[in-house]
């Protein structure tokens, strides 16, 4: 059964991955939601409008974190395991890139790159929010954004040390591992087979990464982060480096909010002119880091692409 679908085309593998993701998320989601409603007393009717529940509800953080664990298992872990088992004849660990980086310096450079990208990402967020659409469409987008934001605020507005560490695990940790496994470990690899080149694969997987978050006003920032994380993974040769960078990024934001709760407000905390200059400097420094990664990246990356192409043709 190992490698059962390794000779399928990239498009067929992507379709299989999507199908397994939806099925797994639906089944695990239904089971997990039902179990959580029993444990917390939050009804299914309340689940349908989670953002309307009183943020001070004693069981709300537990419920949200439980749903994050359910999402991690159903949407990220199971589909990634499926791809690692059935899309290749090599080991699942190697297929997913769960190995040491080609050069130890990538641990440091990958982490620094994601941190210096913070001003650029914030500036892109402001650009994103400045885009105007017809009123009806804008209202719909904002309503969906508010639903997500209220859920996030319900977690991040808790200010005990216990809540901080729980958020670091459930919000930063599970997201870093799960999203990198699926989008970089599997989806990007499938696109590499499709295009035969790394950068189109990095860009398309980043586009899906940003799109599937279903938050329009966060599309540009996530698209940029997806590209950066994809490059970190590709040139380091290790998904662990991308996971660490993703975790450090989310951890930084969560910790900043913990010590400065006003950041939960939608108003920018930095003046627009200052943010523009900071964003441009940040973008320049990120570009310099990418240049270093390209120059010190895995010299057998092209051979890996050729191996993927040969595998599909045999």
Q: Tens-digit pLDDT profile for the chain (314 aa)? A: 789 999 999 999 999 999 999 999 999 999 999 999 999 999 888 887 776 787 778 888 999 999 999 999 999 999 999 999 999 998 999 999 999 998 899 999 999 999 999 999 999 998 998 888 787 777 877 777 777 777 788 888 888 899 999 999 999 999 999 999 999 999 999 999 999 889 999 999 999 999 998 888 889 999 999 999 999 999 999 999 999 999 999 999 999 999 988 777 766 656 778 888 999 999 999 999 999 998 888 744 444 544 554 544 44
Phi, psi angle pair for 134, to nearest 5°: -55, 145
Instruction: Please state, as a whole number, how many other Cβ atoms lie within 10 Å of the Cβ of residue 90.
Output: 14
Q: Is 81 buried (19+), middle (13-18) or exposed (0-12) by CB count in 10 A?
A: middle
4 in any annotated domain: no
1 in any annotated domain: no
Please report the pLDDT score of residue 272 as a whole number.
76
Q: Into how many domains does the chain fold?
A: 1
Please report the pLDDT score of residue 209 as a whole number.
96
Instruction: Please state, as a whole number, how many other Cβ atoms lie within 10 Å of the Cβ of residue 207.
Output: 16
5 in any annotated domain: no
Containing structural domain, residue 271: 10-313
Residue 113: which of 31, 236, 27 has the closest Cα?
236
Please report the pLDDT score of residue 191 as a whole number.
96
251 in any annotated domain: yes
Unique residue bearing structure tokens 């969906």 = 144
Residue 94, C-beta contacts closer than 8 angstroms, at least 6 positions apart? none
3 in any annotated domain: no
Please report the pLDDT score of residue 303 as a whole number.
44
The per-residue DSSP string of the chain comes to -TTTTTTS-HHHHHHHHHHHHHHHHHHHHHHHHHHHHHHH---HHHHTTGGGS-TT-TTHHHHHHHHHHHHIIIIIIHHHHHHHHHS-SS-HHHHTT-S--SSTHHHHHHHHHHHHTHHHHHHHHHHHHT----HHHHHHHHHHHHHHHHHHHHHHT--SHHHHHHHIIIIIIHHHHHHIIIIIIIIIHHHHHHHSSHHHHHHHHHHHHHHTTT-GGGHHHHHHHHHHHHHHHHHHT-HHHHHHHHHHHHHHHHHHHHH-GGGGSSS-SS-HHHHHHHHHHHHHHHHHHHHHHHHHS-TTHHHHHHHHHHHHH-
How many Å from the N-terminal Cα to the C-terminal Cα in the chain?
Answer: 17
Residue 82, C-beta contacts closer than 8 angstroms, at least 6 positions apart? 17, 20
133 in any annotated domain: yes
Please report the pLDDT score of residue 307 as a whole number.
54
Unique residue bearing structure tokens 């964003």 = 279
Q: Is 142 buried (19+), middle (13-18) or exposed (0-12) by CB count in 10 A?
A: middle
Please report the pLDDT score of residue 214 as a whole number.
81
Please report the pLDDT score of residue 56 as a whole number.
79
Residue 158: which of 69, 65, 70, 244 has the closest Cα?
65
The per-residue DSSP string of 41-66 comes to ---HHHHTTGGGS-TT-TTHHHHHHH
Please report the pLDDT score of residue 312 as a whole number.
46
132 in any annotated domain: yes
Please report the pLDDT score of residue 247 as a whole number.
98
294 in any annotated domain: yes
Please report the pLDDT score of residue 132 as a whole number.
81
């Amino acid at each position: 059964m190992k490698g059962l679908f390794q000779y399928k085309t990239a498009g067929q593998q992507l379709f299989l991955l999507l199908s397994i993701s939806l099925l797994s998320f639906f089944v695990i989601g239904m089971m997990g939601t039902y179990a959580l409603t029993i444990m917390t007393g939050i009804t299914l009717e309340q689940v349908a409008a989670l953002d309307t529940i009183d943020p001070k509800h004693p069981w709300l953080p537990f419920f949200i974190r439980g749903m994050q664990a359910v999402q991690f298992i159903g949407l990220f872990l199971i589909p990634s395991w499926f791809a690692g088992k059935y899309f290749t004849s090599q080991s699942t660990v190697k297929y997913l890139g769960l190995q040491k980086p080609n050069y130890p310096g990538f641990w440091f450079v990958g982490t620094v790159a994601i941190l210096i990208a913070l001003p650029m990402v914030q500036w892109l967020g402001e650009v994103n929010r400045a885009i105007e659409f017809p009123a009806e469409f804008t209202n719909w987008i904002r309503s969906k954004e508010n639903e997500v934001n209220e859920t996030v605020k319900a977690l991040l507005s808790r200010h005990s040390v216990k809540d901080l560490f729980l958020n670091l695990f459930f919000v930063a940790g599970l997201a870093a591992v799960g999203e990198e496994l699926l989008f970089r470990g599997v989806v990007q690899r499938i696109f590499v087979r499709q295009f035969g080149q790394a950068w189109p694969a990095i860009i398309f997987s980043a586009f899906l990464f940003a799109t599937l978050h279903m938050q329009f006003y966060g599309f540009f920032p996530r698209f940029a982060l997806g590209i950066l994380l994809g490059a970190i993974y590709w040139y380091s040769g290790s998904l662990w480096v991308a996971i660490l960078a993703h975790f450090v990024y989310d951890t930084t934001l969560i910790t900043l909010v913990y010590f400065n709760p006003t950041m939960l407000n939608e108003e920018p905390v930095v003046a627009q002119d200052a943010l523009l200059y900071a964003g441009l400097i940040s973008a320049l420094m990120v570009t310099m880091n990418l240049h270093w990664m390209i120059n010190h990246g895995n010299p057998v990356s092209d051979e890996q692409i050729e191996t993927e192409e040969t595998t599909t043709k045999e």
